[in-house]
């Protein structure tokens, strides 16, 4: 006889004897006899099949956990709140209590208890009702495992059906489990899978829910209550204290009868009230996120969209999802936003931070609590940190400048424009006459020089220069495709015009950021520039591991989470030159710069402001070599002014969010401009004149900036200035843009 045949024969003999003696008794006692000898025959062929995979796992899956990059918990995901624990993480008195009340012969039987079944049958017949069950802990483990791992209603019904067939299957699997696992393993698995009421699955969740302790610390008074709970939720001490107390006393008396507690312990515990100390449920979903609720929502969209997982996959497998979130940056971003735009204010404030060169999304802050969908209550289910809502104004001038550099026009390219400037290339539809006319627009105020280099026009945010630069390009297509290459998307039909349509209609308003813009897209596009022209797909997840710490893989055996997906999309020289040009918008000494409120002394910061007409949306996006962040403040429902320009609230938020981060690290420098693209040099700053224009700008700055700042950061720079709106394109009317 082969080595494998002998155990199989032994199991067959055990099964035959047990089914004849115990199975029939159990079925007769607890279930209607719905079959006959034919039922046994029909099921016998499968009695010794391999154990289902659900029963071969050593412990049930627990809650999925989302953590930050440093391991800080963000939230959990689950249908059944469960935290599996090991055998030595459960107190001995808890293990004794559950065995004594549910299956006192647990350590003597082989999965089916003939003696216990007979005793229960006699007791039930004498009483005329079912007072005691015949199922062992092993059988209960089989039933609960098949029930809780069922994939559909049909499988759940099969796990609970009142039939001899189900009972025989349960008996067979109980015997097989006892062959496969030790008693301690079976008991631990049972305590991890049992339902204890109040949404608590498993002993650890129950200990936390009712007593705010860990399973290893459960005492006799607590264990007696929980041991009595598994029979029925009606013994829940929170909802049914009287019933729970009576059931606790039954457990105590049984433990005393079996000589596992003393007379004194019985008397003391029975006389005392249940020592309830209810704890809260484990967090579940992004609405319960401890930090970064909108980031959490973005991660779930990434899991289900980009990675093609389902939330059932996430919740049912006990995975750990390690994200890219940096808690210090998230906290700093949250505080900076709220310092300037209050929680739940009608105006939305958004801060998105991303790491150049990796695409790691580091923080997402919104002046809302995520989840409830009631803006009046200060919470929101729409993720303003990712969806395009309002335009970002003159931040798009950077894309025009990048296209011009690539076309051979250097940073020193000088244009003299009139005020206003009338395009020689682009057309505008005149609604009064019903005819097309040349596209024309001007700047806000009369303090713009007529002659500017590209660098000066970018940090001053001159509308007339950039319309003339679009003329020099000859068509809008190079600027649109440049924006796409850098990381912008134009596929959100609610607020965006498809890139193909912008190109086909040759819309000059593209430079002025008229359509809705995703704050995350904007941060990513500028991160591409900060990274020397390397574009990375935004990445919010570092890894997904199973409960054993192994990477979750796809059908091909590859980790479901890809590495950073990056590619060189523009020449490094173009990106480096742009960074040097954009530094002049923020760093001191550049008259008429628009983004100086973002400056942090000692650090190189490249940035750009943007303001949409009517000032209902204002933007600042800034980079260091290590970080890029976009800030948008906008009115989500109307076109009322949010107060100020891109150099006001958004630049202030950027400064306040980055100050604690940059203050804790050494400064890093951008590469020098490439002479090939810089031309005659990336202009020296114009001399400060102390003119009335500067004083007017300072007055504007004080009106528009809301958060407090140190005098060292504000007294030496000139104030933000703004641009006027472009006229409408030949297509349907577009939102107007005010630039920086």
pLDDT of residue 397: 98
Separation between Cα atoms, residue 17 and residue 40, nearest integer Å: 13
For the ranges 130-144, 214-228, 609-623, 639-653, the lowest mean pLDDT is seen at 130-144
From 568, 552, 572, select the one nearest 560 (Cα to Cα): 552
The CATH topology of domain 363-544+565-739 is: Beta-lactamase (3.40.710)
pLDDT tens digits, one per residue of 676-734: 999 975 454 443 333 323 322 332 332 233 333 222 222 222 223 333 333 333 333 33
Which pLDDT band, with edges at 50, 70 and 90, does 599 fall under? very high
Q: Which two tokens stand for residue 567?
A: 């590619």
Block residue for tokens 């020098």: 672
Q: Is 531 helix (H, G, I), strand (E, B) or coil?
A: coil
**Does residue 129 surpass a pLDDT of 60?**
no
pLDDT of residue 40: 38
pLDDT of residue 232: 87
Separation between Cα atoms, residue 325 and residue 538, nearest integer Å: 12
Separation between Cα atoms, residue 98 and residue 116, nearest integer Å: 16
Q: What is the 3-state secondary structure (H, E, C) of 541-588?
A: EEEEECCCCCECECCCCCECCCCCCEEECCCHHHHHHHHHHHHCCCCC
Phi/psi region, residue 510 (left: phi>0; alpha: psi -120 to 50; beta: rest), is alpha
Which pLDDT band, with edges at 50, 70 and 90, does 600 fall under? very high
pLDDT tens digits, one per residue of 496-542: 999 999 999 999 999 999 999 999 999 999 999 999 999 999 999 99
Which pLDDT band, with edges at 50, 70 and 90, does 740 fall under? low
Which pLDDT band, with edges at 50, 70 and 90, does 159 fall under? confident
Block residue for tokens 């006889």: 1
Mean pLDDT over 110-122 rounds to 74
Round the average pLDDT of the chain to a whole number and report it.
84
User: CB-based burial of residue 325 (10 Å sphere; 0-12 exposed, 13-18 middle, 19+ buried)?
Assistant: buried
Segments of the chain assigned to CATH 1.10.3810.10: 5-49+80-271
Mean pLDDT over 351-366 rounds to 98
- The DSSP result for 177-203, as a single string, is HHHHS-HHHHHHHHHHH-B-STTEESH
**Does residue 19 surpass a pLDDT of 90?**
no
Segments of the chain assigned to CATH 3.40.710.10: 363-544+565-739
Separation between Cα atoms, residue 720 and residue 240, nearest integer Å: 66
- The CA-atom distances, in angstroms, between 552 and each of 321, 325, 546, 558 are 10, 20, 6, 8
Q: What is the 3-state secondary structure (H, E, C) of 473-491?
A: HCCCHHHHHHHHHHCCCCC
pLDDT of residue 308: 94
Which pLDDT band, with edges at 50, 70 and 90, does 170 fall under? confident
Separation between Cα atoms, residue 181 and residue 513, nearest integer Å: 66
Q: Are 502 and 510 in contact (CB under 8 A)?
A: yes
Question: Which has the higher per-residue pLDDT, 266 or 170?
Answer: 266
Helix (H) or strand (E) holding 75: strand 73-77
The number of residues making up the chain comes to 740
**Does residue 315 surpass a pLDDT of 70?**
yes
Which pLDDT band, with edges at 50, 70 and 90, does 121 fall under? low
Q: Is 74 helix (H, G, I), strand (E, B) or coil?
A: strand
pLDDT of residue 54: 61
pLDDT of residue 180: 87
pLDDT of residue 296: 98
User: CB-based burial of residue 691 (10 Å sphere; 0-12 exposed, 13-18 middle, 19+ buried)?
Assistant: exposed
Looking from the CA of 332 toward its CB, the CA atoms found within 13 Å total 23
Please give the share of the chain, as a percent, with pLDDT higher than 90: 68
Interacting residues of 469 by C-beta distance below 8 A, sequence separation 6+: 400, 401, 404, 409, 413, 415, 454, 457, 511
pLDDT of residue 125: 62
From 276, 166, 161, 578, select the one nearest 406 (Cα to Cα): 578
Q: Are 469 and 400 in contact (CB under 8 A)?
A: yes
Please give the share of the chain, as a percent, with pLDDT higher than 70: 81
Separation between Cα atoms, residue 513 and residue 152, nearest integer Å: 50
Q: Which two tokens stand for residue 76?
A: 């959990």
CB atoms within 10 A of CB 434: 7
Mean pLDDT over 67-85 rounds to 95
Which pLDDT band, with edges at 50, 70 and 90, does 182 fall under? very high
Separation between Cα atoms, residue 573 and residue 402, nearest integer Å: 11
Mean pLDDT over 412-425 rounds to 96
- The DSSP result for 393-447, as a single string, is GGGGHHHHHHHHHHTT--TT-EEE--SSEEEEEEEEEETTTTEEEEEEE-BSSS-
First to last CA, the chain: 88
pLDDT tens digits, one per residue of 642-664: 999 999 999 999 999 999 999 99
Torsion of the alpha carbons at 666, 672, 673 and 679, rounded to the nearest 10: 140
Q: Is 60 helix (H, G, I), strand (E, B) or coil?
A: coil
Separation between Cα atoms, residue 397 and residue 391, nearest integer Å: 13
**Does residue 367 surpass a pLDDT of 50?**
yes
For domain 5-49+80-271, the CATH superfamily is Biosynthetic peptidoglycan transglycosylase-like (1.10.3810.10)
pLDDT of residue 51: 66
Block residue for tokens 């020397």: 532
Q: What are phi and psi of 443, to 5 degrees?
A: -100, 165
Interacting residues of 262 by C-beta distance below 8 A, sequence separation 6+: 256
**Does residue 130 surpass a pLDDT of 50?**
no
pLDDT of residue 14: 43
Mean pLDDT over 481-496 rounds to 96
DSSP strands (E only) in 304-377: 320-323, 348-354, 361-366, 369-370
pLDDT of residue 205: 95
User: CB-based burial of residue 455 (10 Å sphere; 0-12 exposed, 13-18 middle, 19+ buried)?
Assistant: buried
pLDDT of residue 700: 31
Q: Are 55 and 142 in contact (CB under 8 A)?
A: yes
Which pLDDT band, with edges at 50, 70 and 90, does 252 fall under? very high
Q: What are phi and psi of 355, to 5 degrees?
A: -100, 115
pLDDT tens digits, one per residue of 25-49: 444 333 333 333 333 333 433 444 5
pLDDT tens digits, one per residue of 401-417: 999 999 999 999 999 99
């Amino acid at each position: 006889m082969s080595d494998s045949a002998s155990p199989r024969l032994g199991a067959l003999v055990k099964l035959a004897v047990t089914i004849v003696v115990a199975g029939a008794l159990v079925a007769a006692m607890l279930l209607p006899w719905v079959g006959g000898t034919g039922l046994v025959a029909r099921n016998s062929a499968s009695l010794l099949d391999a154990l289902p995979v659900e029963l071969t796992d050593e412990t049930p899956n627990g809650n999925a956990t989302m953590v930050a990059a440093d391991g800080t918990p963000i939230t959990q995901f689950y249908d059944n709140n469960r935290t599996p624990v090991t055998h030595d993480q459960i107190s001995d008195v808890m293990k004794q209590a559950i065995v004594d009340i549910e299956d006192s012969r647990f350590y003597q039987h082989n999965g089916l208890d003939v003696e216990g079944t007979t005793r229960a049958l006699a007791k039930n017949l004498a009483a005329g009702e079912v007072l005691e069950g015949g199922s062992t802990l092993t059988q209960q483990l089989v039933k609960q495992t098949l029930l809780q791992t069922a994939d559909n209603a049909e499988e759940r019904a099969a796990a609970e059906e009142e039939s001899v067939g189900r009972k025989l299957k349960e008996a067979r699997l109980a015997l097989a489990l006892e062959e496969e696992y030790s008693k301690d393993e079976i008991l631990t698995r049972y305590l991890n899978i049992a339902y204890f009421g109040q949404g608590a699955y498993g002993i650890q969740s129950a200990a936390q829910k009712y007593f705010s302790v860990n399973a290893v610390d459960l005492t006799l008074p607590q264990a007696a209550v929980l041991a009595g709970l598994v029979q029925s939720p009606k013994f829940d001490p929170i909802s049914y204290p009287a019933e729970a107390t009576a059931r606790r006393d039954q457990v105590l008396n049984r433990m005393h009868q079996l000589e596992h507690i003393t007379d004194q312990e019985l008397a003391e515990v029975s006389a005392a009230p249940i020592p309830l100390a209810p704890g809260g449920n484990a967090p579940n979903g992004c609405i319960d996120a401890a930090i970064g609720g909108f980031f959490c929502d973005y991660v779930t969209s990434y899991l289900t969209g980009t990675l093609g997982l389902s939330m059932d996959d996430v919740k049912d497998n006990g995975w750990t999802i390690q994200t890219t979130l940096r808690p210090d940056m998230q906290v700093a971003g949250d505080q900076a936003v709220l310092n300037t735009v209050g929680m739940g204010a009608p105006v939305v404030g958004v801060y998105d931070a991303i790491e150049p060169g990796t695409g790691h999304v580091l923080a997402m802050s919104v002046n809302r609590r995520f989840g409830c969908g009631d803006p009046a209550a200060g919470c929101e289910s729409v993720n303003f940190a990712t969806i395009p809502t309002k335009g970002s104004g003159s931040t798009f001038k950077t894309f025009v400048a990048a296209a011009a550099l690539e076309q051979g026009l250097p940073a020193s390219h000088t244009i003299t424009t009139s005020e206003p400037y009338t395009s020689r290339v682009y057309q505008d539809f005149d609604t009064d006459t019903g005819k097309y006319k040349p596209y024309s627009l001007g700047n806000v105020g009369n303090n713009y020089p007529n002659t500017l280099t590209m660098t000066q026009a970018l940090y001053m945010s001159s509308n007339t220069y950039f319309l003339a630069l679009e003329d020099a390009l000859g068509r809008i297509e190079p600027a649109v495709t440049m924006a796409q290459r850098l990381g912008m998307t134009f596929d959100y039909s609610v607020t965006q015009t498809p890139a193909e349509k912008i190109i086909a209609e040759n819309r000059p308003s593209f430079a002025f950021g008229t359509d809705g813009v995703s704050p995350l897209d904007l941060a990513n596009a500028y991160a591409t520039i900060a990274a020397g022209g390397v574009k990375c797909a935004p990445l919010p997840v570092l890894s997904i591991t199973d409960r054993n710490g192994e990477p979750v893989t796809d059908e091909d055996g590859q980790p479901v989470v890809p590495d950073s997906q990056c590619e060189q999309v523009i020449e490094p020289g173009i990106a480096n030159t742009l960074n040097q040009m954009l530094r002049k918008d923020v760093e001191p000494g550049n008259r008429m710069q628009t983004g100086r409120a973002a400056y942090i002394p000692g650090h190189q910061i490249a940035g750009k402001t943007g303001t949409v007409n009517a000032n209902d949306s204002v933007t600042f996006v800034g980079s260091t070599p290590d970080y890029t962040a976009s800030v948008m403040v906008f009115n989500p429902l109307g076109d009322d002014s949010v107060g100020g320009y891109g150099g006001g609230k958004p630049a202030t938020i950027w400064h306040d969010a980055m100050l604690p981060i940059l203050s804790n690290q050494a400064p890093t420098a951008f590469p020098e401009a490439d002479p090939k693209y810089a031309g005659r040099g990336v202009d020296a700053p114009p001399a400060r004149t102390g003119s009335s224009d500067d004083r007017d700008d300072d007055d504007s700055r004080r009106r528009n900036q809301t958060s407090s700042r140190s005098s060292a950061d504000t007294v030496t720079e000139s104030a933000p200035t703004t641009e006027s709106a472009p006229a409408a394109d030949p297509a349907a009317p577009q939102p107007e843009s005010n630039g920086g």
